[in-house]
Amino acid sequence: MTETTPPDHCPTTLQQDVDLGGLNTLAIPARARYLARVTCVDELQALLQWRRQYECEQQRELPLLILGGGSNLVLSSDFPGLVISMGILGREVLGEDESSVLLRAGGGENWHQWVQYCVESGYFGLENLGLIPGTVGAAPIQNIGAYGVELESCFESLTAVEVSSGRVVTFDGSACRFGYRDSVFKQELRDQFIITSVTLRLHRNPDVRADYPALQQYLSELGAGQPSPQQLFEAVCAIRSSKLPDPAQVPNAGSFFKNPLVSSEQFEQLREEYTDIVGYPQSGGQVKLAAGWLIDRAGWKGHSEDGVGVHDKQALVLVNPGHASGSRLLQLAQRIRDDIRQRFGVELEIEPRVYAY
């Protein structure tokens, strides 16, 4: 990695030709043309202004990648543009009443540490989302979810800087159009806003949600009748640690595919042949299939080839122990998708964002 004098009056330290291998949890060894870390909104706005000027002078686009913890992206080639590493920190209690508290965190805060802080402070609602890697600013992008809870359940608003203008915009929950692993920022507004802070409304009294089957089972084995929020948080962390690989040991990006939605008719047909298939009925009559079960049943669990593979405890997680290229990993993903389509007639959609240039 080299650090140079910023070209064309860039307002913040700009690094050139940067290895992103240590900055994405799949350890994909791609390089970025430029990388800059921002620690406040002013810096971000000035950097975006510099990019606009650069594009004008050079008469070509400088692609943009906003980087949090790098735990939900696949770099399928080098990145020929500007990577902005989100480093805006800060935690603030904005207000409290008898039952709830309004809290704001900077987009660059570590998500798990934020959850831990909230649980320890007696602000409840995020316990089920413990140990999810990444940053606060990335959490709304795919409306992170785990163990029966999604971010949207306690989301109040976020602030974001518009890439094209630099203006600061506030989005409430309905403007974010949250869905399962989805939001407006993955759809119409993709790459148009940089999230700088997130405001949540949490409970001051325990609001324990322990219905998720694996969580229920774990807690009952523990003999925890009515678990405290702290116990719930610890249970979630323990379950996750037992089946999801730690990216520091085995590079991965969590679930590589979304759990697919099928019609109840298709689910019943599948169940006739595969009596133990796992599906969760959704409102509106569809059924969400456990993609991990499909991949496992198809025999891919523990599979490995050329440095990439399928985790041996959770078939929905692709791993990259050999620090192979993104395109190598995507080849494996494509073979799995083809196989699942052929066997079950089900289309799998990749969950992390794929960058291809």
Residues that bind ligand EPU (CB under 6 A): 146-147, 214, 254-255, 258-259, 278, 290, 292-293, 296, 301, 314-316, 351
Cβ(121)–Cβ(167) under 8 Å? no
Count the helices and strands in the chain (H runs, E runs).
Answer: 8, 21
CA-based nearest residue to 130, from 138, 142, 118, 121: 118
The 10 Å Cβ neighbour count of residue 262 is 19
| Residue 314 near which of ligand EPU, ligand FAD, none (CB within 5-8 Å, type-dependent) | ligand EPU
Residue 223 in tokens: 């003999």
Residue 292 sits in the site that holds ligand FAD (CB under 6 A)? no
Residue 337 in tokens: 């998708």
Segment lying near ligand FAD (by CB under 6 A), choices 119-127, 131-139, 231-239, 331-339: 131-139
CA-based nearest residue to 114, from 93, 84, 141, 86: 93
For the CB of residue 81, give the shortest distance to ligand EPU in the complex, in Å: 26
Cβ(74)–Cβ(330) under 8 Å? yes
Sole binder of ligand FAD in the list 87, 145, 173, 279 (CB under 6 A): 145
Instruction: Enumerate residues 57-76 that contact ligand FAD by CB under 6 A.
Output: 65-73
Residue 326 sits in the site that holds ligand FAD (CB under 6 A)? no
Q: Match 């409290």 to its residue by tokens.
A: 96
What is the number of the residue whose Cβ is closest to ligand EPU? Answer: 254
Residue 150 in tokens: 């999604």
For the CB of residue 342, give the shortest distance to ligand EPU in the complex, in Å: 19
Query: Active-site residues: which are they?
Result: 181, 255, 351
Question: Contact residues for ligand FAD (CB under 6 A)?
Answer: 25, 65-73, 86, 107, 132-135, 137-139, 141-142, 144-146, 194-195, 244, 247, 252-254, 353
